[in-house]
Structures are given as C-alpha cells and as structure tokens.
C-alpha cells in the first residue's frame, strides 16, 4: 500500500480575514488534500466550495490517475452547476489540490486545478508553483502584455477564466502526475494567501518551520498581518519516503 511507503505530516489552517464569512472549504485526509474557494461574486459561494470538495474527495478511493482526476472534476462541475441560482447567477468555485497515489510502482503526487487557487511544491528548500492560474491577468502575463512583477497589483487580478459551476457547461481541469521525492513539501492554498504574500515570502515562511502544522499556521498569520483582505486557507503536506 502507498501509505506503507510514504509517511505524510499534514498541517491545515484557515481564516476568514476581513470577509464577513469564510467561503473557502478544504479536505485534508485519506491522502487527498484539496482547497476550494467559493467565488465572492457568485451566490452561495460557500455552498459551491463545499459541494465541489464533497465530490472531489472521492479521489481517496484506490490509486487514481489523471483520467480519474479529470472525470471526478467534471462530476464536481456538474454538481456545482446543479445548485440553485437564487438571483440569476450560478454559484461557482475554484478547486486545487494534491492526491497521494502511485503510477506503476512509483509513489506520485496527482495535482489537479481549476481556477486561481494554487498548488506548490517545495523541494530542496526551493518553492515552485505547479499549477497555472486560470485568470485574466495570468493570460496577460503569458502573452507579454503585463509584466509578471505587476500582476499582483493589476485591477483584474482576481477575474478567473475557469471555475467549477458558473455559466460554463463544461470544464477542462489541468492535471499533473509528479513522482514523490524525499523531503517534498506540498502547499495547497486559496488566493487569500497569494494575494497577500509573494512567492519569495511564502518560501521563506515555509523554510522557517520544520513541521507541517506550524508552517500552515505561520503562513496564515503572515497573510493576516499583511492585510488579510480575503479568506485564507492553507494545507501543508510533508512527505517522507519509507525504506
């Protein structure tokens, strides 16, 4: 079993920040670590994020691969689309996360993403964003119209181009399958963290704590101290390969 080959240390922290309620929802159990950020401009964002996670946590069954992830994300999209639109606007949510699985005989991270919440990987003390933001600003940066160092201040930085639910009839998730390396630290977070802290600051805060729970707590505290304008949810997953 994969659990016999990889030991995980997990930390979770969340805060509503300056928002009236927390529309983030997360799952951190059974080798599945997910964050969904209910869209503030949609009705019932908290219900949308919870609904998505309830479907996506089904990835805990067996040893899922990329096709399983795509199928489950599409099921989550349908479930969110089926929620009532109380004022004519459909609920929507981002979703991102990582699943511990195996491919052949190799332990792997299965990473999924829709929207602008993020999953990162830190290896050898160096942080790398695995997911790609589905947002207007990310597209402008990719096309060279907006410099990368101006993206965090752009007035349309929170306009997402892909969500679960919303008005689209279909959704295409991004999926990655990455071999687990000794000492991997995975970070799953809503944009309430990344809107407040740069990647360099996130890396520094992660390096300051050896254990997962203190690292998660530290990141949320830093985001709150930086302004905490949005809901903030953080999951830190540390992997140790057993011999």
Q: Identify which of 61, 17, 58 has the alpha carbon closest to the alpha carbon of residue 40.
A: 17
Task: Indicate which CATH number applies to the domain containing 90.
Answer: 3.60.40.10
| pLDDT at residue 151, rounded to an integer | 63
Which phi-psi region, left, alpha or beta, contains residue 37 (left: φ > 0; alpha: ψ -120 to 50)? beta
Task: Provide the token pair at 161.
Answer: 């181009």
Could you tell me which residue, 77 or 3, shows the higher pLDDT? Answer: 77
Range of the domain at 18: 2-241
**Per-residue pLDDT tens digits for 87-136:** 667 899 999 999 999 999 999 999 999 999 999 999 999 999 999 999 87
Confidence of residue 3 (pLDDT cuts 50, 70, 90): confident
Residue that the structure tokens 């994020």 belong to: 49
Report CA-CA distances (Å) from 38 to 50, 212, 241. Answer: 8, 25, 34
Could you tell me which residue, 167 or 41, shows the higher pLDDT? Answer: 167
Could you tell me which residue, 134 or 143, shows the higher pLDDT? Answer: 134
* H-helix or E-strand spanning residue 120: strand 118-123
Q: What is the reported pTM?
A: 0.94
For the ranges 81-90, 157-166, 226-235, the maximum mean pLDDT occurs at: 226-235
Q: Identify which of 180, 161, 185, 159 has the alpha carbon closest to the alpha carbon of residue 171.
A: 161
Average pLDDT of the residues in 201-216: 98
The count of structural domains within the chain is 1
Task: Provide the token pair at 167.
Answer: 């008005």
- In contact, 142 and 199? CB cutoff 8 Å: no
């Amino acid at each position: 079993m994969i659990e016999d080959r990889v030991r995980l240390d997990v930390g979770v922290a969340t805060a509503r920040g300056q928002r009236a309620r927390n529309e983030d929802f997360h799952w951190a159990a059974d080798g599945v670590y997910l964050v969904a950020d209910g869209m503030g401009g949609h009705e019932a964002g908290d219900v949308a994020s919870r609904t998505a996670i309830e479907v996506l946590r089904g990835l805990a069954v067996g040893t899922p691969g990329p096709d399983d992830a795509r199928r489950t994300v599409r099921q989550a999209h349908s479930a969110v689309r089926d929620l009532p639109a109380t004022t004519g606007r459909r609920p929507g949510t981002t979703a991102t996360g990582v699943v511990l699985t195996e491919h052949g005989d190799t332990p792997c991270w299965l990473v999924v993403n829709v929207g602008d919440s993020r999953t990162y990987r830190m290896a050898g003390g160096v942080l790398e964003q695995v997911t790609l933001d589905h947002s207007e600003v990310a597209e402008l940066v990719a096309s060279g119209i907006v410099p990368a160092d101006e993206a965090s201040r752009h007035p349309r930085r929170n306009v997402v181009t892909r969500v679960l639910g919303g008005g689209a009839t279909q959704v295409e998730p991004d999926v990655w399958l990455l071999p687990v390396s000794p000492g991997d630290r995975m970070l799953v977070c809503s944009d309430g963290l990344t809107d407040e802290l740069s990647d360099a600051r996130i890396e520094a805060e992660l390096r300051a704590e050896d254990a997962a729970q203190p690292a998660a707590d530290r990141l949320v505290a830093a985001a709150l101290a930086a302004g905490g304008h949005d809901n903030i949810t953080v999951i830190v997953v540390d992997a140790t390969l057993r011999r």
